[in-house]
């Protein structure tokens, strides 16, 4: 008997627990109180299934606490629910732990709690570490979210580069500096005698020659010793793995960010909700500055007026052939530009090779730095040219911006690849040179031996100062140097453009305005706007160059961290000081993934040359951690053989058997194909559903229109009959009653019609009144449009009805 009562009480508790995750908490609190007391009395009498239910209830409560942030409840309710759930969980977790495994369960619970607390503290710590938050907020409030998005992107890049810097600095540069052979001990680590005189000159150092070249900053300094120092640190292995690791880490981060953004971005359906989006999503809530707000109001108004104009005119068919011809012409001009710039770079690189052969001292500063300057100048002027050409095309601003970005992308890419091809030519030259020098060195060593053999000593000691040993050419260091020089000149160009183009311009406009014929601020030069897309592209391409050169110059990530740090402060200052908020705001695309996608493409394209050189070209014999090997990746093979137990290398050799690798690759290709076709079918299903939704919408409108027309005719008939009846009969009540019936029937049909859409036709009296007047005014405006809407036919009030009838009459 007691058990039955208990069971009943527990069922009630379960029901109570199930409803607790919904709205009301007050009743549940009361019932929980009584149940609690019961439970406290008999904690042991819980059968296994009741234990299970209790466990489920506790888990559900825990889940509720986790999801509390995202619930649309007022804060007070959330706090109360939180406190109750926590009390419930604490009370019953203890009870659950009775019986077998109690200690384990309690331990698990305690560890989970500790883990969550640790996670929370870590999150707090992480947010405290984020730099420049206030700076970005200030920029956001002045310029809106699109300009600030550039700075947020810059900060994100800074984070990535910090990690890359940590890897290269900690695992490559520091071990070699601390534990490797010191400077001057072996030939590759010493400045050759011929260059010693000018090794400390600033000009040479700025060019990354001299002492800068023979240091941990570049590939050539590293020794190929298998293990160095007392830690037996395997330098070549570490160098190789860090190189691979930087690329792998970058891929992981970019793809993870893209996946995260993909969830948030809307489906690219640009025109179906044009006006709605303009109304509800055009105001930027980040704006906190009066001038920016005014600009934003103006731009919103303009955009509405434009949309209204477009709507009213529909399509003004311009001369479509002329437009097409102009667009083709514009694309042709752009292609000519791109080809021209590619050829110019190739020509300049070949010329600089010629200069290098002649000896660099014979040429002017311009001729020495020609390549870098030409690339930077092209990057500055060609986009402006593209901008001018695009005025021929007459596209919508958003489409025009996308074309512009695409062209600048192609320009940078073409320049970069021409540069790389020219570099490859130089590498081949150096390798030819290498063969000759190798031959010369053997001759030189032989002569040394001949010289010392005459001394009749058993072990000929060759004590030659390392600086005097003839050195082989080191193409890897040369590549690293080229990239470092490119980055430096690019950075200098950017900063100088910033100072001249933005700052000087702003100063001139401000101070010359007093004594100039026309208003400089409103007219021609005026203050510049911040070019978000140009800056983002510049950032992306710089990062691409870092990725390309990081294998050959471990100092590049460090340089980049410094560069980004300075850029952040400089550009924040410049934007607040010299720029004005943009008048028209067109983002290049709806989602953030556009820039992420470009970054991914650049990452892929920049790792290709590095991978190609690693896989195909044998390393220099005289410099770097891989000297003496046939290929750079041989270091992995050697490590497997020498440092791992024997069975490991056997397993690996089986695993790298083509018979195993090929089926694996085939399997992956099949998996990709399967996923691709599934995603395609989902997309098609999505489109189908959208179409169905549209059709349903149309049908609903048609149905409502028909019903409204029918109601109209019915009412008119009813009116006629009532007026006739009123004339014929003296009893007004009877006629009104028939009118009511008509209304009711019609209202019933309306309700049936509406209830299909699942809406609840009950509402308060005040709303009804409001809706009646609303509908009246709406019908007046709509004219021939759909005459839908509520008709509260079943109201007993005569007032609204009489109001209604004349309005329908006007139709």
Partner 1 sequence: MGNKQTTFTDEQLEAYQDCTFFTRKEILRLHGRFRELAPHLVPLDYTNNPDVRVPPTLIVTMPELKENPFRDRIVATFSEDGQGNQTFNDFVDMFSVLCEASPRELKTIYAFKIYDFNRDNFICKEDLQHTLNKLTKGELTAEEVSLVCDKAVEEADLDADSKLSFTDFENMISKAPDFLSNFHIRI
Interaction between residue 76 and partner 1 (CB under 8 A):
yes
Q: Which of residues 694-723 bind partner 1 (CB under 8 A)?
A: 696-697, 700-701, 703-704
SS3 116: helix
Interaction between residue 300 and partner 1 (CB under 8 A):
yes
* DSSP-derived secondary structure letter, 198: G
Interaction between residue 583 and partner 1 (CB under 8 A):
no
Contacts of residue 20, defined as CB under 8 A and 6 or more positions apart, other chains included, come to: 28, 61, 64, 84, 85
Least distance in Å: CB of 292 to partner 1? 8
Least distance in Å: CB of 297 to partner 1? 5
# chain residues binding partner 1, by CB under 8 A: 82
Q: How far apart are CA 715 and CA 707, in angstroms?
A: 12
Query: Cα separations (Å) of 25 from 17, 91, 234, 493, 601?
Result: 10, 18, 64, 64, 53
- Can you name the residues that pair with 580 across neighbouring β-strands? 529
Which stretch, 98-106, 243-251, 287-295, 366-374, contacts partner 1 (CB under 8 A)?
Answer: 287-295
Q: Which of residues 713-772 bind partner 1 (CB under 8 A)?
A: 754, 757, 759, 767, 770
Contacts of residue 474, defined as CB under 8 A and 6 or more positions apart, other chains included, come to: 188, 219, 220, 430, 620, 622, 623, 624
Give 83 or 510: the residue with its C-beta nearer to partner 1.
83
Nearest to 261 by CA among 269, 251, 250, 253: 253
Interaction between residue 276 and partner 1 (CB under 8 A):
yes
Least distance in Å: CB of 19 to partner 1? 21
Which stretch, 240-248, 285-293, 574-582, 595-603, contacts partner 1 (CB under 8 A)?
Answer: 285-293
Nearest to 215 by CA among 240, 237, 182: 182
Interaction between residue 677 and partner 1 (CB under 8 A):
no
Among 11, 42, 63, 83, binds partner 1 (CB under 8 A): 83
Interaction between residue 615 and partner 1 (CB under 8 A):
no
Are 623 and 188 within 8 A, CB to CB? yes
Q: Which of residues 351-410 bind partner 1 (CB under 8 A)?
A: none
Interaction between residue 790 and partner 1 (CB under 8 A):
yes
Among 12, 55, 78, 155, binds partner 1 (CB under 8 A): 78
Give 384 or 752: the residue with its C-beta nearer to partner 1.
752
Least distance in Å: CB of 779 to partner 1? 10
Which stretch, 291-299, 404-412, 425-433, 568-576, contacts partner 1 (CB under 8 A)?
Answer: 291-299
Nearest to 749 by CA among 719, 786, 706, 781: 706
Query: What x-and-dash track marks residues 91-130 binding partner 1 by CB under 8 A?
Result: -----------------------------x--xx--xx--
Least distance in Å: CB of 14 to partner 1? 25
Interaction between residue 287 and partner 1 (CB under 8 A):
yes
Interaction between residue 313 and partner 1 (CB under 8 A):
no
Nearest to 617 by CA among 476, 482, 422, 435: 476
Interaction between residue 267 and partner 1 (CB under 8 A):
yes
Interaction between residue 808 and partner 1 (CB under 8 A):
no
Interaction between residue 783 and partner 1 (CB under 8 A):
no
Least distance in Å: CB of 593 to partner 1? 10
Contacts of residue 147, defined as CB under 8 A and 6 or more positions apart, other chains included, come to: 139, 140, 530, 532, 575, 581, 582
Q: How far apart are CA 252 and CA 247, in angstroms?
A: 9
Among 178, 255, 279, 384, binds partner 1 (CB under 8 A): 279
Among 185, 265, 428, 798, binds partner 1 (CB under 8 A): 265
Nearest to 543 by CA among 158, 132, 242, 240: 158
Interaction between residue 275 and partner 1 (CB under 8 A):
yes
Are 779 and 807 within 8 A, CB to CB? yes
Cβ atoms within 10 Å of 304's Cβ, excluding its own: 14
Q: Which of residues 28-67 bind partner 1 (CB under 8 A)?
A: 65
* DSSP-derived secondary structure letter, 501: I
Give 509 or 598: the residue with its C-beta nearer to partner 1.
598
Burial bucket for residue 104 (CB in 10 Å: 0-12, 13-18, 19+): exposed
Backbone phi, then psi, for 573, in 5-degree steps? -60, -45
**Side-chain half-sphere exposure of 22, counting CA atoms within 13 A:** 8
Among 68, 186, 617, 640, binds partner 1 (CB under 8 A): 68
Which stretch, 275-283, 415-423, 609-617, 643-651, contacts partner 1 (CB under 8 A)?
Answer: 275-283
User: Cα-Cα-Cα-Cα dihedral of 371, 375, 381, 383, to 10°?
Assistant: 160
Nearest to 97 by CA among 151, 65, 58: 58
Nearest to 542 by CA among 483, 608, 593, 463: 483
Give 754 or 801: the residue with its C-beta nearer to partner 1.
754
Chain centroid, CA 607 distance in Å: 20
Which stretch, 20-28, 216-224, 299-307, 509-517, contacts partner 1 (CB under 8 A)?
Answer: 299-307
Backbone phi, then psi, for 228, in 5-degree steps? -120, 150
Which stretch, 105-113, 278-286, 470-478, 482-490, contacts partner 1 (CB under 8 A)?
Answer: 278-286
Q: How far apart are CA 420 and CA 548, in angstroms?
A: 10
Interaction between residue 82 and partner 1 (CB under 8 A):
yes
Interaction between residue 786 and partner 1 (CB under 8 A):
yes
Interaction between residue 647 and partner 1 (CB under 8 A):
no
Among 170, 229, 288, 523, binds partner 1 (CB under 8 A): 288
Host H or E run for residue 529: strand 528-529
Contacts of residue 58, defined as CB under 8 A and 6 or more positions apart, other chains included, come to: 88, 89, 92, 93, 96
Among 289, 513, 639, 745, binds partner 1 (CB under 8 A): 289
Which stretch, 92-100, 435-443, 692-700, 800-808, contacts partner 1 (CB under 8 A)?
Answer: 692-700
Interaction between residue 582 and partner 1 (CB under 8 A):
no
Least distance in Å: CB of 170 to partner 1? 29
């Amino acid at each position: 008997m007691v058990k039955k009562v208990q069971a009943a009480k527990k069922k009630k508790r379960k029901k109570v627990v199930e409803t607790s995750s919904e709205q009301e908490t007050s009743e549940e609190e009361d019932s929980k109180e009584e149940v609690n007391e019961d439970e406290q009395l008999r904690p042991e009498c819980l059968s296994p299934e009741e234990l299970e239910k209790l466990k489920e209830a506790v888990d559900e409560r825990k889940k509720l606490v986790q999801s509390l942030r995202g619930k649309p409840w007022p804060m007070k309710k959330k706090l109360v629910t939180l406190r109750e759930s926590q009390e419930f969980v604490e009370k019953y977790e203890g009870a659950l732990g009775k019986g077998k495994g109690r200690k384990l369960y309690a331990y698990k619970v305690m560890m989970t709690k500790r883990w969550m607390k640790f996670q929370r503290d870590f999150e707090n710590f992480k947010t405290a570490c984020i730099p420049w938050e206030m700076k970005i907020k200030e920029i956001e409030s002045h310029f809106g979210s699109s300009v600030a998005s550039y700075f947020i992107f810059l900060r994100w890049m800074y984070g990535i580069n910090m990690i890359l810097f940590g890897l290269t600095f900690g695992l490559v540069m520091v071990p070699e500096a601390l534990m490797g052979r010191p400077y001057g001990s072996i030939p590759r680590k010493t400045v050759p005698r011929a260059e010693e005189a000018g090794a400390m000159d600033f000009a040479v150092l700025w060019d990354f020659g001299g002492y800068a070249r023979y240091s941990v900053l570049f590939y050539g300094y590293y020794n190929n010793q298998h293990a160095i120092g007392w830690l037996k640190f395997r330098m070549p292995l570490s160098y190789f793995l860090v190189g691979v690791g930087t690329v792998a880490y970058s891929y992981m981060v970019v793809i993870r960010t893209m996946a995260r953004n993909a969830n948030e971005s809307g489906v690219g359906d640009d025109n179906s909700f044009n006006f709605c989006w303009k109304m509800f999503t055009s105001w930027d809530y980040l704006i906190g500055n009066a001038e920016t707000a005014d600009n934003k109001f103006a731009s919103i108004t303009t955009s509405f007026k434009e949309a209204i104009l477009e709507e009213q005119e529909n399509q003004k068919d311009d001369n479509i052939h002329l437009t097409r011809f102009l667009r083709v012409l514009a694309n042709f001009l752009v292609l000519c530009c791109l080809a021209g710039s590619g050829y110019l770079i190739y020509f300049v690189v070949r010329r600089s090779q010629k200069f290098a052969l002649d000896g660099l001292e014979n040429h002017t500063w311009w001729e020495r730095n020609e390549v870098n300057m030409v690339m930077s100048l092209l990057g500055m002027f060609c986009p402006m040219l593209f901008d001018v050409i695009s005025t021929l095309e007459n596209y919508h601003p958003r489409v025009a911006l996308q074309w512009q970005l695409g062209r600048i992308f192609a320009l940078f890419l073409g320049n970069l690849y021409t540069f790389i091809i020219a570099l490859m030519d130089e590498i081949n030259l150096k390798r030819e040179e290498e063969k000759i020098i190798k031959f010369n060195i053997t001759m030189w060593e032989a002569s040394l031996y001949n010289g010392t053999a005459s001394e009749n000593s058993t072990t000929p000691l060759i004590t030659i100062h390392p600086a005097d040993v003839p050195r082989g050419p080191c193409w890897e260091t040369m590549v690293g140097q080229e990239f470092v020089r490119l980055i430096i000149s690019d950075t200098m160009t950017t900063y100088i453009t910033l100072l001249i183009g933005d700052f000087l311009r702003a100063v001139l406009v401000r101070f010359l305005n007093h004594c100039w014929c026309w208003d400089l601020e409103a007219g021609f030069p005026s203050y510049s706007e911040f070019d978000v897309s140009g800056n983002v592209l510049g950032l992306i391409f710089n990062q691409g160059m870092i990725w390309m050169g990081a294998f050959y110059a471990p100092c590049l990530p460090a340089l980049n961290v410094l560069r980004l740090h300075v850029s952040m402060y400089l550009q924040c200052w410049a934007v607040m000081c010299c720029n004005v908020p943009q008048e028209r705001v067109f983002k290049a695309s709806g989602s953030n993934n556009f820039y992420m996608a470009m970054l991914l493409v650049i990452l892929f394209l920049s790792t290709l040359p590095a991978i190609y050189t690693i896989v195909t070209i044998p390393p220099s014999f005289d410099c770097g951690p891989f000297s003496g090997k046939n290929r750079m990746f041989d270091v992995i093979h050697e490590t497997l053989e020498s440092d791992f137990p024997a069975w490991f290398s056997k397993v690996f050799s089986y695993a790298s058997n083509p018979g195993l690798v090929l089926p694996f690759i085939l399997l992956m290709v099949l998996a990709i194909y399967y996923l691709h076709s599934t995603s395609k079918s989902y997309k098609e299903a999505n489109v189908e559903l959208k179409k169905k939704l549209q059709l349903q919408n149309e049908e609903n409108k048609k149905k409502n229109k028909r019903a409204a027309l029918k109601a109209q005719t019915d009412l008119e008939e009813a009116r006629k009959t009532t007026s006739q009846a009123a004339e014929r009969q003296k009893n007004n009540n009877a006629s009104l009653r028939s009118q009511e019936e008509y209304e009711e029937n019609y209202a019933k049909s309306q309700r049936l019609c509406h209830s299909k859409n699942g809406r609840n036709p009950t509402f308060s009296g005040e709303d009804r009144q409001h809706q009646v007047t609303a509908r009246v005014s709406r019908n007046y405006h709509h004219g021939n449009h759909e005459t839908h809407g509520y008709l509260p036919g079943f109201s007993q009030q005569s007032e609204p009805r009489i109001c209604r009838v004349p309005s329908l009459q006007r139709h």
